[in-house]
Every structure is written in structure tokens, then in C-alpha cells.
Amino acid sequence: MKGVKKQDLPSKPCLVCGRPFTWRKKWEKVWDEVKFCSERCRRSKGNAPDAR
């Protein structure tokens, strides 16, 4: 993803808070598996409202 502008990076909504978060280099190989925007949201995933 070298040479890509920040606003052109992929994003998706967090399953807990619903806020959109964007792709990060450290998630390059696991982007499809990333579901939460932060550690705080990941820890509180049991309290999340159903997204479906």
C-alpha cells in the first residue's frame, strides 16, 4: 500500500462502538480478521449490541 493517500485507505466500522476505523500497516496481513477499533472495544465485546 505504498504511495496511498491516507484518505484512500480502506476502513470499516467497529463492531462495538460503530465508529469507522482505517487500515494500519500492522494489520496488513490480518485486515479481514480485524473487527475492533481499539483494545478497549475488544475487551468490551461481550457488552456489544448485536450488529445483525
pLDDT digits (tens, 9 = 90+) for 15-44: 999 999 999 999 999 999 999 999 999 999
Nearest to 36 by CA among 9, 10, 15: 15
Higher per-residue confidence, 17 vs 51 = 17
Interatomic CA distance for residues 44 and 3, integer angstroms: 35
DSSP letter, residue 23: -
In terms of pTM, does the model score above 0.75?
A: no
Interatomic CA distance for residues 40 and 29, integer angstroms: 22
Residues in Cβ contact with 44 at an 8 Å cutoff, skipping those fewer than 6 apart: 16
> For residue 11, is pLDDT > 60?
yes
